[in-house]
Structures are given as C-alpha cells and as structure tokens.
Amino acid sequence: MSVLQDIIAGVREDLDARKATLTLAQLQGLVAQQRPAMDAFAALGGNDNARADLKVIAEVKRRSPSKGDLAGIADPAALARQYEEGGASVISVLTEERRFGGSLADLDAVRAAVGIPVLRKDFTCDPFMIWEARAHGADLVLLIVAALSDEELHDYLALTHQLGMNAVVETHTAEEIDRAVAVGAKLIGINVRNLKTLEVDRSIFAALAGNIPAGPVVIAESGVRDVDDVRHYAAHGAQAILVGEALVKDATPLERISEFKAAGALAISSR
C-alpha cells in the first residue's frame, strides 16, 4: 500500500464515523445557510493576463508524514490573520487528523477569522467531503488526480462548481496534468513531492509546468524553503505557491510571506 493509499484508508474510516452522526440531507441544510463561496480563482489571479505578482496560498499545518511535528498552532485563527496581513491570497487549512493533526474545527476558526478564500486541504475521496467543506465555509477543496478515477475527478470538480466553489487539482506527472486539463480544472497544482517516497524534487516543477496550457492558474506545491525556491518556481511558470512548513516554523510568517511575494514578483518580471 502506498503512502497515499494508507492516508486515504484512514480518511475513509474517519469519514464513516462522521457520516454516522450527520446525514447528507442534514449537511446540505447546513450548506444552504452558508454565505456564497468566495471566488478563489479570481483571488489567485485567474483571468488576469497581466499577472505580474506571485500569489501565496499559506497553510495552517501542524505536522506531516515526511517531517513529523512542525508546529503546535494553538490558535489557527491568529496564524491565519498573520497570513492575511502578510499578503496571502488564500489560506489552506489541513483538516486530516491522523497524519496532519488537523480538524474541521481548525477550518471553522480560520474561516471566521479572515476575509479571503479558504481551502479545505484534505484527501477528498467522497462527495460528502465536498459538501462538508462548503458547510464549514470553505471556498476551495483539494482534488488529487492520483487518488481519483477520471469519472470521480469529473464529478467531484462538477460538484465543487455546483456549490460555487473552486478546486485545486493536484498533479504529479504529465499524464495527470492531461487529466486535469481534460476535466476543465481552473487551478492546477504541481506537487513535487513523490507520493511513494515522500522525497521532494524541485526540478519536477520546471519539467512539467510547460504542459499546462494558458488559462488555468499554475500552482507550485511543496518544497518552498526560502526565497531561492520561490524564485525557481516563479521563473519556471508558477503563478502561485502553496507554502506550509516554511511558514508555520517561522517566528515571523507575516514578514516571510511579504518576502516570498517580492521575490516571486521579481522573478516573474524577469521571465
């Protein structure tokens, strides 16, 4: 069993427990009470042909399978507010509990604290989770191409759009990019972390980014340690970066986001 399969097996078990306490009809009732989702595509520069800046998706992330504990984050809302003040365009909140130490309560806290789009970062493997994300105020969900069949990818993306949301469609290979483009993904992430070994290879982004046609926002995922990594991704076509570890382990995440944005803008202007 791969790391991804193992994580999803745990996600399904936890999802079954939540389903035992809340029906889909009840969940849909909660969604009906939510304000409309924010336009994350626009927030990340979508439809802006003159994009000259690098957008940052800043992540609330306590731990990971590859690095273990990263940060306690006793107050995710306070951290998210720092991210927003620093210039983040979207806040990503890990809600997977077993490997990442997240929760839907974290999502609730962040959603109540910031005025920008919020991504529910989890291993979406059931439509129920998309309804769940919207019920808790999320504006985006994560869809990992490697974890979904073509039919699931199509149907899950259609559901996010039906709910007024967006999805970050995560890819790792050229074939997965083709699948993401085929279903009309508007936000395509290239994750440079190997799902089998969990190793990071930043060169993968440069090798794959050119496979994404004009239109979708191109997002670099994983491997951002410092401004050099930001420059590398921006120089090779990234329009946004998703950053977790480098921010949660930094004592001054607000300043770090500002620094990353400045470095990215300079790299983009030099393309």
The catalytic residues are 59, 61, 121, 170, 191, 221-222
Which 3 state secondary structure label does DSSP give 58? strand
Which 3 state secondary structure label does DSSP give 267? helix
Place of tokens 């910031």: 114
| Pairwise CA distance, residues 139 & 60, whole Å | 15
Task: Please give the single-letter amino acid code of residue 105.
Answer: A
Diameter of the chain measured on Cα atoms: 54
- Token readout for 243 is 């950053």
| Pairwise CA distance, residues 61 & 216, whole Å | 26
CA 233 to chain centre: 16
